[in-house]
Amino acid sequence: ITPGELLCLGSSLAFSGLFYYLYRRKSRVVARIQEAPKLQVDDNLPALVSAAEGRCLPYVALEGIVLPAQAALTSHYHEGLQGVIQKLQLKEHRLIWNSLARSW
């Protein structure tokens, strides 16, 4: 066995281990999402969120009717199809300057 073959074998094992670790981590997240409780959007929802730990419900599926704030968006391509825009909440994490890569 030559040193080049050992290097290829070692790097192959390292990449396989890395990808298996990432696969297992993501599969746990998918399992948690699939087990998420389904809640109805009704008057009890704010009380349920307030009673939860940290005022947050991780991984829940909300079911209910969505009403637009102003006017619903209509599709130009499919007649009778309407939709609304969901408000997004962006949480930014603290950025640290990486002097080696010269990026944040």
For residues 97 and 104, the answer to whether their CB atoms sit within 8 Å is yes
Per-residue pLDDT at 42 exceeds 90 = no
For residues 36 and 57, the answer to whether their CB atoms sit within 8 Å is no
The verdict on pTM exceeding 0.85 is: no
Mean pLDDT value of segment 11-37: 93
State whether the Cα torsion 11-12-14-18 is positive or negative: positive
- Pairwise CA distance, residues 92 & 104, whole Å: 13
Mean pLDDT value of segment 32-60: 85
Per-residue pLDDT at 6 exceeds 90 = yes
